[in-house]
Amino acid sequence: MQPSTGRDWSFGEWVCNHHGMPVGEPEVLRVGGVSVADAVAATGTPAYVYALDDVEAAYRRVAAAFAPMGAEVLYAVKANGNLAVLRRLAAAGCGFTVVSGGELTRVLAAGPTTGTVVLAGRGTSAEEHALAVRHGAVVHVQSADELAALGRVAAELGRPARVAIRLNPDVEAASPEALRTGHGDAAFGMPPEVAVDALGRMAAGAHPGLVPVGVHVHVGSQIRDPSGVASAVKVALDVIRAGRDAGLDLDWLDAGGGFPVDESGADVPEPEDFAALLAPLVEGTGVRLAVEPGRRLVASAGMLVTSVRHRLDRSHGRTVVVDAGMHHLLRPALYGATHRVVAVGGGSEDVAPTTVVGPCCEPGDVLARAAPLPALAPGDLVAVLDAGAYGMVMASNYNGHPRPAEVVVAGGEATVARRRETWDDLLAWET
């Protein structure tokens, strides 16, 4: 396996400068050892392409960083639920955290895993609770109401349900505002005193079908400073101690996800930096730590490949319309994310700042502004990099466009993992 750079795309012999821009002789863009053009030959575009070796390498890197403290890695399926991705991670021993019955169904379809599976949704339904309990998943509840609802489901099924409490630790994480979930105002989890109260009631015999195992915190995504996670873990340990004092046998501490990937190529804290801060906190406490990375395992392993449809004739610089847009990769429009966009066929002639827009009839359908691209013509392939997380899972059929295909590359071979949708598919759900 290659060393884990977290970036399996390359320009063949090109050397990338620290901005990720190629210098030197151009070659064609490759992913997982396969030329990107070959990878999408069977599906056409738009298509997401994921390098599975890179996904596994990223998992192994996080697992190794946290192994000294015996922590378990649970992949956050919301980042990318493709079955081939889940299968590869399950085979490597990764656990999973899901937020819905739909995601849990995917994990079950992907096949057996030796790792822990957690259902940690918000507004989880009785059907979703029941599916989790039947399959022995740990359920993370966010409110006293949800705890009672889960208790009823466990009683009806006559099966014990392992439960952990999602805390709101009131910690301000260094993550973009739209992705912050740990401050007091965030509508996630219980304040510590409510959690302690809930644990106390369980210790006193309320909800006899529930088996309390511990607590869960997740303070945000794209966390640029690991100290926010450390603060949340300290609050979680206090709650675990209070629960133990009440007589419960608690040992589960899920510290959440949020390990960052900068789409523009800037340096960010690595999993080892998070592990170094958490290790001394959990040492000697007898808790089993878990972490839930989504983005860090899949973002850099994936790209969205799209074709130039037309060049737009504008007075304000070079603009191309491609066949993927905000409905296929929402992150630039929704969060202002700057993903690097490169020409698949290389080309260093006539490079100029280029606006890359999608086919949606909305001014906000812009995939990239001022991307340094060579002169492009209709049919040329372009790749949006670091698009393996929160890409396809957030795609829609807006403007009546079918969603992209998904291709996986493993062992130097590209396989269609999900075919591109058709116009007929768009009608399939209506009576």
Of how many residues is the chain composed? Answer: 431
Q: Closest CB to ligand LLP among 98 and 308?
A: 98
Q: Closest CB to ligand LLP among 100 and 221?
A: 221
Stretch that binds ligand LLP, among 39-47, 294-302, 358-366, 409-417 (CB under 6 A): 294-302
The two three-digit tokens of residue 164, written as one number: 């952990």
Restricting to residues 327-356, name those near ligand LLP by CB under 6 A. 331, 335
Restricting to residues 65-84, name those near ligand LLP by CB under 6 A. 76, 78-79
Number of other residues whose CB lies within 10 A of the CB of residue 248: 18
Q: Closest CB to ligand LLP among 120 and 373?
A: 120
CB of 310 to ligand LLP, least distance (A): 28
Rounded to whole angstroms, the Cα distance separating 229 from 426 reads 42
Rounded to whole angstroms, the Cα distance separating 394 from 388 reads 11
- 59 part of the interface to ligand LLP, by CB under 6 A: no
CB 166 within 8 A of CB 120: yes
In three-state secondary structure terms, 431 is coil
Stretch that binds ligand LLP, among 189-197, 256-264, 270-278, 307-315 (CB under 6 A): 256-264
- Residue whose token pair is 């510290």: 255
Q: Closest CB to ligand LLP among 222 and 354?
A: 222
Number of residues this chain uses to bind ligand LLP (CB under 6 A): 20
Restricting to residues 142-201, name those near ligand LLP by CB under 6 A. 179
CA-closest candidate to residue 392, choices 112, 100, 85, 180 = 85
CB of 366 to ligand LLP, least distance (A): 16
Q: Closest CB to ligand LLP among 110 and 297?
A: 297
Computed from CA positions of residues 388, 73, 132, 88, in that sequence, does the dihedral angle turn out positive or negative? Answer: positive
CB of 120 to ligand LLP, least distance (A): 5
Residues 6 or more apart from 283 whose CB is under 8 A from it? 69
Which of 192, 209, 258, 388 contacts ligand LLP by CB under 6 A? 258
Which of 22, 226, 256, 302 contacts ligand LLP by CB under 6 A? 256
Which of 8, 146, 292, 365 contacts ligand LLP by CB under 6 A? 292
CA-closest candidate to residue 72, choices 195, 219, 212, 254 = 254
The two three-digit tokens of residue 85, written as one number: 């991705």
The two three-digit tokens of residue 338, written as one number: 């700057």
Which of 209, 269, 293, 332 contacts ligand LLP by CB under 6 A? 293
* Strand positions, DSSP E, 113-169: 117-119, 138-141, 161-166
CB of 335 to ligand LLP, least distance (A): 6
CB of 14 to ligand LLP, least distance (A): 28
Which of 88, 207, 295, 401 contacts ligand LLP by CB under 6 A? 295
Stretch that binds ligand LLP, among 24-32, 203-211, 292-300, 369-377 (CB under 6 A): 292-300
Computed from CA positions of residues 128, 133, 139, 144, in that sequence, does the dihedral angle turn out positive or negative? Answer: positive
Q: Closest CB to ligand LLP among 209 and 214?
A: 214
Q: Which DSSP letter does residue 420 get?
A: P
Rounded to whole angstroms, the Cα distance separating 346 from 352 reads 14
Rounded to whole angstroms, the Cα distance separating 312 from 108 reads 46
CB of 159 to ligand LLP, least distance (A): 24
Rounded to whole angstroms, the Cα distance separating 285 from 419 reads 48
The two three-digit tokens of residue 117, written as one number: 């599976």
CB of 294 to ligand LLP, least distance (A): 3
- 420 part of the interface to ligand LLP, by CB under 6 A: no
- Residue whose token pair is 């396989």: 415
Which of 16, 94, 360, 361 is the catalytic position?
361
CB of 364 to ligand LLP, least distance (A): 16
- Residue whose token pair is 């466990």: 154
Which of 50, 59, 66, 259 contacts ligand LLP by CB under 6 A? 259
Stretch that binds ligand LLP, among 250-258, 275-283, 355-363, 399-407 (CB under 6 A): 250-258
CA-closest candidate to residue 126, choices 96, 97, 148, 104 = 148
CB of 390 to ligand LLP, least distance (A): 3
Distances in Å between the Cα of 253 and the Cα atoms of 104, 129, 135, 238 are: 21, 20, 21, 11
Restricting to residues 7-36, name those near ligand LLP by CB under 6 A. none
- 257 part of the interface to ligand LLP, by CB under 6 A: yes
Does the active-site annotation cover 361?
A: yes
The two three-digit tokens of residue 212, written as one number: 């309390």
Rounded to whole angstroms, the Cα distance separating 160 from 238 reads 26
Q: Annotated catalytic sites, by residue?
A: 361
Contacts with ligand LLP, residue ranges (CB under 6 A):
76, 78-79, 97, 120, 179, 218, 221, 256-259, 292-296, 331, 335, 390
